[in-house]
A and B are shown apart, each in its own frame.
Chain A
């Protein structure tokens, strides 16, 4: 009697384990399941990012479970927990904020599900995730700085530079400023005469630039931490009776559609790209993890820079 019961229990456990396994691999033979938790859909940039992930997953034959956290960390944590319960193969997410991820990342680790961060970093211990795929903001700032160095390498007098910074305290604002200023330090003629925050928005970019224009009669170059502030500043410069791109040269970061259009129109002189199209790279990482190959802890998004000429050529086929 006792033996029979044990055998029955064992059979039941086996059956349960079998169904559990089936659920884990998504039912398909060998198809990888990726759970992706997006920050939200707050900007055109983010939208292109979402589209890229979805399209790349389809192209790579990866089963994608997608969720939008609507800018809330608690939504994102709940989503990641549900991915752990569904036993997806890999979890990827763009963290809303930097802090507070230790617990849920440990849960994922306990469930032996590898985690990939995209676009934004966390302050948790690096052993809790496999890889961080995203832009290097310092490099973006440096790319702009390099262009400015080259543009003014023959300048004899001082070059007055205005900087429109992003949201105070945000990683892109801090790092882009750092990268840019470290580069231009090489030429003592290049001077940042005013540096104010335009909060990454067009309206603030315009308002701040309008005030700076009045306080500083001679401005040679404007560096805006993103396209939107640059676009706002262009309007302010035009209203002051000056020609953007000619009287005041403008360099920005992002390369969103409106920015590229202004670049092609000659109102911006140079843009360093901050690409949201990281879908293909993400799928490569997922496949590598699944195949047991090692992946780098930090992978930088493939990004480029655009001059006016290149922008005009790239615009017709640009995805965002």
Chain B
């Protein structure tokens, strides 16, 4: 039992399961998934589909946070990427042409990569604090998105583009497949090569890792670029899902949701050890929370309070220090294996 509860993914997973069960109690058919109109249909599919952009951004954010940084600009990149792709497609004579859509998608992702590179260079080369460096793009980026759309919502009517965020492949939402592939590739890259360890080394002590010969600057730039590309893909999904680029609202405050997902997943904001699987769970917890609010009919005025209460509870239950105080089974026993959950280390330092 102790090995199960001691696993670093136990608490985020438990929270997700509890939340789903609570939904089943309120809405009996919540877990049912059926095939309707040639594709899977159900609340679970909704959670995965609307959660896909958040999962992607959170994965990118995990890499950045692992290096001890933070990226506040992802929401703005979401808006820019969607705006550019829709702007390009809306200008084509045949909006349904596959090559045209591919070019638009390629350009949008290219621009996202450049924006990530900019963030990375500001942090790694210019030595600006990550929170400030990315704050620049967070503020300016939304302006750029509005510049591209000239302040209007750009509508597109393009079946190939619609596939990215609203289409289905073999009855499964295409966006979910894309997110799964990115998560799998990122997982392979960080755990089957030394990349993950190097990122953790930088997060642990950037100067020491540089002295032992890790090219920390280059890896930091890489982390920010990957994060921005993830946000770019998410931006494509969000605009594709509604066939509209909304420069004002797309991805608004999403950076905060992503940071929250990373933390709920069990990665500490101080950098170092990180877990991609935990982040995916964290993102799903956040999306499930939103869907729960809509299906159970929490009054809109209290939505934010409800969310805050749940998030607070989730964070508390993950803190060994809190658990030791509240559920004192063996008085005086030290909190469980500190390596198992890096989050609490942060709590203890502040306490």
Contacts and interface: CB of A to CB of B under 8 A. Distances in A.
B297 interface: yes
B328 to A, nearest CB: 40
Contacts of B241: 203, 206
B12 to A, nearest CB: 22
Interface stretch (B35-43, B97-105, B120-128): B35-43
A203 B250 contact: yes
Given A203-B242, A206-B242, A215 B248 contact: no
A214 B46 contact: yes
B246 A207 contact: no
B87 to A, nearest CB: 15
A241 B42 CA distance: 12
A239 to B, nearest CB: 7
Contacts, number: 87
B295 A201 contact: no
Contacts of B295: 211-212, 214-215
Interface stretch (B110-118, B147-155, B182-190, B223-231): B147-155
Interface in A40-63: 40-44, 46-47
A211 B248 contact: no
A201 B79 CA distance: 14
A109 interface: no
Nearest to B43: A214
B151 A201 contact: no
A265 interface: no
Interface in B248-272: 248-250
Given A211-B291, A214-B43, A241 B37 contact: yes
Contacts of B151: 40-43, 46-47
Contacts of B43: 211, 214
A40 B143 CA distance: 12
A228 B153 contact: yes
Contacts of A202: 153, 242, 244, 246
Contacts of B249: 199, 201, 203-204
A41 B291 CA distance: 32
A42 B248 contact: yes
Contacts of A8: none
Nearest to B297: A194
Nearest to B293: A196
A53 B155 CA distance: 26
Contact of B36 (A46, A197, A240): A240
A168 interface: yes
B129 interface: no
B46 A211 contact: yes
Interface string B263-296: 0000000000000000000000000001101111
Contact of A215 (B36, B37, B296, B301): B296
Contacts of A232: 242
B27 interface: yes
A204 B293 CA distance: 13
- Main secondary structure, interface of A, reads helix
Contacts of A197: 300, 303
B27 A203 contact: no
A210 interface: yes
A263 B42 CA distance: 28
Interface string A98-124: 000000000000000000000000000
B48 to A, nearest CB: 12
Of residues B30, B291, B294, which shows the largest number of chain A Cβ atoms within 10 Å of its Cβ? B294
A203 B246 contact: yes
B37 A165 contact: no
Nearest to B239: A203
A44 B154 CA distance: 10
A258 interface: yes
Interface string A44-88: 101100000000000000000000000000000000000000000
A189 interface: no
Contacts of B50: 207, 210
Interface string A1-43: 0000000000000000000000000000000000000001111
Contacts of A212: 294-295
Contacts of B290: 207
Nearest to B287: A207
Contacts of B300: 165, 168, 195-197
Of residues A40, A41, A195, A196, which shows the largest number of chain B Cβ atoms within 10 Å of its Cβ? A196
Interface string B38-62: 0001110010001000000000000
A307 interface: no
B86 interface: no
A281 interface: no
A299 interface: no
B238 interface: yes
A210 B241 CA distance: 12
A215 to B, nearest CB: 4
A210 B42 CA distance: 9
Nearest to A232: B242
B149 to A, nearest CB: 10
Contacts of B243: 235
Contacts of A241: 36-37, 41
15 contacts: A42-B146, A42-B248, A168-B303, A169-B301, A202-B153, A203-B241, A203-B249, A207-B46, A207-B290, A212-B295, A215-B294, A215-B296, A215-B297, A235-B243, A240-B41
